Structure 1
Amino acid sequence: MDKYFKIVKDYILELGSVIQYESELDNLLVIENEDFGVKNMVIGVATPIIIIEQYLFNVKDEGEIFKQLLIKNRDIVHGAFVLDETGEKVIFRNTLQAETLDLKELESTINSLGLLLSEYSNEILSFSK
């Protein structure tokens, strides 16, 4: 097991998140935290980085939606909207340095997503239709 995987797992539990899926072989966690609006957040430890992703919604090639997401990216403190390799799934994503990771840094990423979802939920719902 990667030493950073254990650190991330301990931090996730300390933050009160529920681990829905865990793979020590792949250094992968899928978590849920209702307080932050997180469901099926994927955390992958790929030393030297930690990759955090939360699927949000599917979208077809919509220039105006992409423009609005890019504008909103400027307001997001930690992480950003990204598209998957198909260009159809909108994902919240952040990467952190494994070596310097601390509890507050991981919590800030999860908080950032929670804040984004609470502030921008109406827009996200309209984009997903």
Structure 2
Amino acid sequence: MTHHFDRVKNYLIDLDYNITYENAEEEVFVVEYPDAGIYNLVIAVADPILIMEQFLFELKEGKPEVFRKLLEKNRDIVHGAFALDETGTRVVFRDTLQLENIDLNEIEGSVNSLELLLSEYSDELIEFSKN
């Protein structure tokens, strides 16, 4: 376990995020922030970066117009971006931060970006998940 893991844990606690899972050996957290509609946000300490990943929806089939709209929306996202997981079927929100100088404001900014995305773009995400 690195000092980065402890520092990130302290930031998560300071931000009042609910840590639902913690594995110090793998340096992974799963957090919830129900007030923002965030559940099962995976946060991994992978020195030299912190990876934040939130599953959004499963693609039933790869429609080019869905990919295009997601890529266009990436321009508006303050922190992070839409991405596909390694299967190519699960759309996730993903953000990475440098651990060396990470602070509470950076983590909060990334989670706030996800919160804003979910509040502003939820109808479209629901539609994409149905296709």
- State TM-score, norm by structure 2: 0.97
The aligned runs of 1:14-29 (5 Å cut-off) are 14-29=14-29
| 1:43 and 2:53 are equivalent in the alignment | no
How far, CA to CA, are the matches of 2:53 and 2:63 in structure 1?
22
Structure 1 residue runs of 4 or more that deviate by more than 2 Å after TM superposition: none
- The residue type equivalent to 2:80 in the other structure is G
The CA deviation at 1:36 is 2.1
Structure-2 residue corresponding to 1:77:
78
How far, CA to CA, are the matches of 2:48 and 2:83 in structure 1?
21
How far, CA to CA, are the matches of 1:113 and 1:62 in structure 2?
24
SS at match of 1:91: strand
**RMSD of aligned residue pairs (Cα, Å):** 0.6
SS at match of 1:128: helix
Structure-2 residue corresponding to 1:118:
119
SS at match of 1:26: coil
How far, CA to CA, are the matches of 1:11 and 1:98 in structure 2?
13
- The residue type equivalent to 1:41 in the other structure is L
Number of residues of Structure 1 aligned to a counterpart in Structure 2: 129
Identity of aligned residues (%): 53
| 1:61 and 2:62 are equivalent in the alignment | yes
SS at match of 1:78: coil
Alignment gaps of 5+ in structure 1: none
The CA deviation at 1:34 is 1.1
- The residue type equivalent to 1:80 in the other structure is A
